[in-house]
Amino acid sequence: MDIQARIYIAGHKGLVGSAILRALKKHGFANLVYRTSSELDLRNKDAVNAFFEQEQIDYVFLAAAKVGGIVANNDYPADFIRDNLLIQTNVIDAAYRANVRKLLFLGSTCIYPKLAPQPLKEQYLLTGELEPTNAPYAIAKIAGIKMCQSYNRQYGTRFISAMPTNMYGPNDNFDLNTSHVLPALLRKFHEAKQAGSPFVEIWGTGAPLREFLHADDLADACLFLMHNYEESEIVNVGVGEDISIKQLAELIQSIVGYEGELRFNSSIPDGTPRKLVDVNKIHSLGWKATIPLEAGIRSVYKEYCKQIEITI
């Protein structure tokens, strides 16, 4: 991307999109285009086509998506598959019709089979059954991958796909009903500490293993791939290390300074037993994550406390 390129960040208010926006500005890109969901509903095909026709976009980072944790995916499966299919279909097709030079589609490692060998290699896609709790979301993301690949094959577009592992960072969702595990735990421990609660309930058994990537690392990887990657095949983005939910809870407990008890609620499903990505491909291209988990969580906790105006 040349420095004057006109770059559209779809989903610039979200966890990933805001990190991409920060990274672009940091690297001197100023010709940036973005819209809030109230200004441009990406589920509306005509609105999206009109936007692309008017704005003359060169590059697209497609980070807009309907996202959530296990409970949200379980409770709203129709919303997750419908909204994500509409968003990505409209943006990818409009980018092709507007002759966008390159597009990066952001998927998720939930695209891989529930019981795939660990760590998850890119070639494991579509080799087994998905995790049922987030299958509608995963199927939508798989459709986005295949759409990018199909447009490349038929129309000669340059649409690439990155599969990030579990994300966290500034601008995360801290709603206890719809958030992912890390921000949910941060909020739970913080509120328990403030209230003097004797225990914190952790959803599930604590046994599942998860990998966590800071959004600023992902943004750096996205810029790297936009500059350096031209293949249709997907690329995993992660740190290559995982941690159990129990260990994560204990780490967050320590960072927050909560001294009560941890109680695990095994009536809530754990989801996939383990989800560690193989990062050999992106490492071989020349990129590696740099933000350690503890340091990253501490920075997010400080940000969260600023949002609710409490000093730590």
What does the pLDDT look like over 43-98, one tens digit per residue?
999 999 999 999 999 999 999 999 877 777 888 899 999 999 999 999 999 999 99
pLDDT tens track for 224-272:
999 999 999 999 999 999 999 999 999 999 999 999 999 999 998 887 7
Note whether residue 299 is domain-resident: no
Note whether residue 202 is domain-resident: no
* Residue percentage of the chain with pLDDT more than 70: 99
Question: 287 with 224: CB under 8 angstroms?
Answer: yes
Note whether residue 144 is domain-resident: yes
Q: CATH number, domain at 222? A: 3.40.50.720
Range of the domain at 164: 7-169+211-240+276-291
Q: How far apart are CA 179 and CA 69, in angstroms?
A: 5
Q: How far apart are CA 292 and CA 296, in angstroms?
A: 6
If you average pLDDT over every residue of the chain, what do you get? Answer: 95
Note whether residue 57 is domain-resident: yes
Identified catalytic residue from 34, 59, 137, 168: 137
Q: How far apart are CA 18 and CA 202, in angstroms?
A: 29
Note whether residue 79 is domain-resident: yes
What is residue 129's DSSP assignment? P
Total tally of structural domains belonging to the chain: 1
Give the torsion through C-alpha atoms of 107, 108, 109, 112, to 10 deg. Answer: -60
Say whether 137 is catalytic.
yes
pLDDT at residue number 218: 98
Note whether residue 64 is domain-resident: yes
Question: 1 with 227: CB under 8 angstroms?
Answer: yes
Q: Edge-to-edge, what's the strand order for the sheet holding 274-275? A: 243-244, 209-210, 274-275
Q: How many CB atoms lie within 10 A of CB 261?
A: 12
Q: How far apart are CA 68 and CA 59, in angstroms?
A: 27
- First-last CA distance in the chain: 40
Note whether residue 84 is domain-resident: yes
- Which residues belong to the annotated binding site for substrate? 188, 203, 210, 270
The pTM of the full predicted model, rounded to 2 decimals, is: 0.93
Q: How far apart are CA 86 and CA 271, in angstroms?
A: 26
What is residue 277's DSSP assignment? B
pLDDT band, very low/low/confident/very high, at 311 (cuts 50, 70, 90): low
With CA atoms as reference, report the closest residue to 73 among 138, 155, 166.
Answer: 138
Tokens encoding 263: 């109680």
Note whether residue 298 is domain-resident: no
Question: 18 with 61: CB under 8 angstroms?
Answer: no
